[in-house]
Amino acid sequence: MRYFPIFVDLDGHDVLIVGGGEKALQKLRLLAKSTARIRLVAPQFDAGIRELAHAPAVTLIERSFAPSDLHGAVLIFAAADDVAVNSQVALEAKAQGIPHNVVDGPAESTFIMPAIVDRDPVVVAIGTEGSAPVLAREIKAKIEAWLPANFGRVAEGAMALRRRVHEALSDPVARRRVWGALLHGAWRASVLHGETAAAECELERQLAAARSGAERTGSVALIGCGPGDPDLLTLKAQQRLQEADVLVVDRLVNPAILEYARRDAQRIDAGKEPEGPSAAQDEINRILVREALKGQRVARLKGGDAFVFGRAAEEMAAVRAAGIPVEVIPGITAAHACAAGIGLPLTLRQKVRQFAVVTGASADGAFDLDWAALAKPGQGFAIYMGVRSAAHFRDKLIAAGAGPQTAVVIVENGSLASERVIATELGHLGRAIESMEVKGPAIIFVGLDWAAAGLSPPERLERYEPAPASGAKEFERRLAPQS
Ligand SMILES: C[S@@+](CC[C@H](N)C(=O)[O-])C[C@H]1O[C@@H](n2cnc3c(N)ncnc32)[C@H](O)[C@@H]1O
């Protein structure tokens, strides 16, 4: 992050704009929304600037720029139509150590202007470090559509209540909970609709509930966080993350997802290695119960979906046994995300009539899967946690009648920038994992391929195929995609 975003207090401070044309007018329009005192210097001013200059905070100085104009200014905008003048302003400002922005001159500037969504007092600033202003505009349009035009009322209303809530509730946890209920519930809706009496009623109701301790019991939300890409989080998962007081985080949860949580939420790392000791699970159960009994809203963050090889049942049972409410928020499981990311259908009309998910992990090394069923034509399946046991799957499936040519697709780090996609055949499965150095996490799809669906594989596909043995030593080839 080269440009660090901050909000500067301009209340009653002097800001200088050098320029009298369209560029200066754009800056003036923006700054006129602030409570700064604005000085403009230029030999002449456009009509638009003269119109805005009626405001008492705006002063026009009709002459050429002089270095003494910088005196007392906390920010400077060089917005003249003459680039030489702008460079002179930048040099003087630099010499005096005053932050300055040169219109269309990021190299001469010490700060750049973000795209702004203004819902005063809520202001959203969007920056791309100048790399892609079009992207900033797109993001701005999305945020503008999402934030109602009168959204500022909610923030103003909250500001007006701060003291009252503080005085009514001494416990910070209770206060946080009331704020959550007000800002996400009926109070906010009433404020946005201008229904003052209803908002007041709701406030009283929430304060009374908090005082009586009715909301003291904590809760646990088991949140499926998807395969890694934060864009695959559900809206409900985002909401629960924002509300949580405590985050209990799994190994496979992308740290970028934690950005959706409150910064002051307590974070507990519950990383478990695959096939790790079950004591780790008991410890996690204990943490969930302990934190919820303190009255905290606990978010248990799990990779993919909590109900798919996520040991959610054990955590739910432990939490319920302690009388704590538990909610499960579904997530996108790795197989679904990986398949979607590479355009590989999981079922195919008249060809793949069944799709299963199976695990390649086993605490005691014994797999009691129905190999005959998995080996049948028309059966597709995804192996989770199968990197280490891939060769075992190959042997068992082939022994149960599956063809060695059965299609296999391996997706490692699905949905992340480091994603790899490898195609091979069942007969080469173990060697492919080894030779292509698949370390996981990975999903291994068996019995599914693009050709059967009349689709082409993604361009980034790698293929693994051992070359026919030449002499004693076998070697492998990595082939380009065959589209
Ligand atoms: C303990 S299981 C958890 C599965 C998770 N609950 C889900 O629904 O995706 C861990 C396995 O999920 C798969 N997995 C998780 N994230 C993945 C990703 N981004 N890409 C590929 N496979 C992934 C791997 O097979 C990994 O070994």
Quick: pLDDT tens for 42-89: 999 999 999 999 999 999 999 999 999 999 999 999 999 999 999 999
Neighbours of 252 (CB within 10 A): 19
Judge whether 395 counts as a catalytic residue: no
In the predicted model, is pLDDT for residue 397 greater than 90? yes
Average pLDDT over residues 2-7: 94
Average pLDDT over residues 221-250: 92
Query: What band does 275 get if pLDDT is binned at 50, 70 and 90?
Result: low
Q: Is 333 near ligand 1, meaning CB less than 6 Å away?
A: yes
Would you state the structure tokens that stand for residue 88, as one six-digit string? 């002179």
Exactly one of 272, 351, 376, 396 is catalytic; name it.
272
Confirm if 153 and 192 have CB atoms less than 8 A apart: yes
**Alpha-carbon gap, residue 112 to 75, rounded angstroms:** 12
What's the gap in Å between 121 CA and the centre of ligand 1?
42
Average pLDDT over residues 363-380: 87
Please provide residue 387's backbone torsions phi and psi, each rounded to the nearest 5 degrees: -60, -45
> 301 has which bridge partners?
223, 249
Per DSSP, 11 falls in state: T
Query: What band does 251 get if pLDDT is binned at 50, 70 and 90?
Result: confident
Q: Give the closest residue to 2 by CA, choosing from 111, 99, 123, 77.
A: 111
Residue nearest to atom 12 of ligand 1 (CA): 384
**Alpha-carbon gap, residue 462 to 187, rounded angstroms:** 54
- Ligand 1 mutation pick, 273, 384, 412, max ligand atoms within 8 A of CB: 384
Q: Quick one: pLDDT at residue 180?
A: 85
- Output the CA torsion sign for 347, 350, 351, 356: positive
Percentage helix, strand, coil for the chain under 3-state DSSP, each rounded to 5: 40, 20, 40
Confirm if 409 and 452 have CB atoms less than 8 A apart: no
Does an H or E element contain 22, and which?
Answer: helix 22-31
**Alpha-carbon gap, residue 286 to 366, rounded angstroms:** 29
Q: Is 414 near ligand 1, meaning CB less than 6 Å away?
A: yes
Q: Is 380 near ligand 1, meaning CB less than 6 Å away?
A: no
In the predicted model, is pLDDT for residue 371 greater than 50? yes
Model pTM?
Answer: 0.69
Confirm if 377 and 303 have CB atoms less than 8 A apart: no
Quick: pLDDT tens for 287-322: 999 999 988 889 999 999 999 999 999 999 999 999
Query: What band does 350 get if pLDDT is binned at 50, 70 and 90?
Result: confident
Q: Which amino acid is at 198?
A: A
Give the Å distances, CA to CA, from 459 to 129, 423, 432, 483: 31, 12, 19, 8
Confirm if 173 and 245 have CB atoms less than 8 A apart: yes
Query: What band does 272 get if pLDDT is binned at 50, 70 and 90?
Result: low
In the predicted model, is pLDDT for residue 476 greater than 60? no
Q: Is 430 near ligand 1, meaning CB less than 6 Å away?
A: no
- Output the CA torsion sign for 105, 107, 108, 110: positive
Average pLDDT over residues 455-476: 74
Confirm if 38 and 12 have CB atoms less than 8 A apart: no
Neighbours of 148 (CB within 10 A): 12
- Output the CA torsion sign for 300, 303, 308, 311: negative
Judge whether 250 counts as a catalytic residue: yes
Quick: pLDDT tens for 184-211: 778 988 998 899 999 999 999 899 988 8
Average pLDDT over residues 212-216: 65
Looking at 34-107, list the stretches that DSSP marks H as alpha helix, in order from N- to C-terminal side.
Answer: 47-52, 83-96
In the predicted model, is pLDDT for residue 214 greater than 90? no
Q: Is 440 near ligand 1, meaning CB less than 6 Å away?
A: yes
Nearest atom in ligand 1 to 384's CA: 25
Q: Quick one: pLDDT at residue 215?
A: 52
Q: Collapsing DSSP states into helix, strand and coil, what is residue 263?
A: coil
**Alpha-carbon gap, residue 408 to 468, rounded angstroms:** 19
Would you state the structure tokens that stand for residue 472, as one six-digit string? 């004693």
Q: Quick one: pLDDT at residue 235?
A: 86
Of the given ranges (9-23, 98-112, 170-184), which has the lowest mean pLDDT?
170-184
Average pLDDT over residues 222-233: 95
In the predicted model, is pLDDT for residue 252 greater than 90? no
**Alpha-carbon gap, residue 12 to 177, rounded angstroms:** 36
In the predicted model, is pLDDT for residue 472 greater than 50? no
